[in-house]
Every structure is written in C-alpha cells, then in structure tokens.
Amino acid sequence: MYFPERLRKLLPKKKSPAELDKHYEEMELEKGDFLAMVIAAILTFLPVLLIAMAVIYGLLFLFLG
C-alpha cells in the first residue's frame, strides 16, 4: 500500500511505533471536538445512506411495484 508508507515517512523517526501509539492515546480532546466529529460523521455517512436507501427503494418499486 502506497499511502501508509508515505505517511510513515512523514512521522517523526525518533519514536518507535509503540511510543507513537502511546502518544496518540494520551492526546486529549478539546471542548467541541467530539461534537465536531459527530457532525462530520453525519455529513459523511448520511448522503451515502440516503443514496443506498433510494437505490433499494427504487429496485423494490421496480420489481414489486
């Protein structure tokens, strides 16, 4: 995979993978970060779900309607 290798090149070389995992686990979220992540997830997944539901409904209407 090309992207993870490219990402690893950008990470600091001085820390081992275990140290990097520990560093990212210790990061704390700011006050509005969780809400921002929920809103981003909704904006990301909602259009995909609506399109999938429309396709399923269209197929049901076409074959059973």
The tokens describing 4, both together, are 């993870």
pTM over cut 0.75: no
Show me where the domains of the chain are located: 2-64
Helix and strand numbers, DSSP H then E, in the chain: 3, 0
Tracing tokens 């997944």 back to the chain, one arrives at 45
Question: Helix, strand, coil % (nearest 5) of the chain?
Answer: 80, 0, 20
Burial profile 10-44: b = 16 or more Cβ within 10 angstroms, e = fewer? eeeeeeeeeeeeeeeeeeeeeeeeeeeeeeeeeee
pLDDT along the chain (65 residues), means of 10: 67 75 79 92 97 97 91
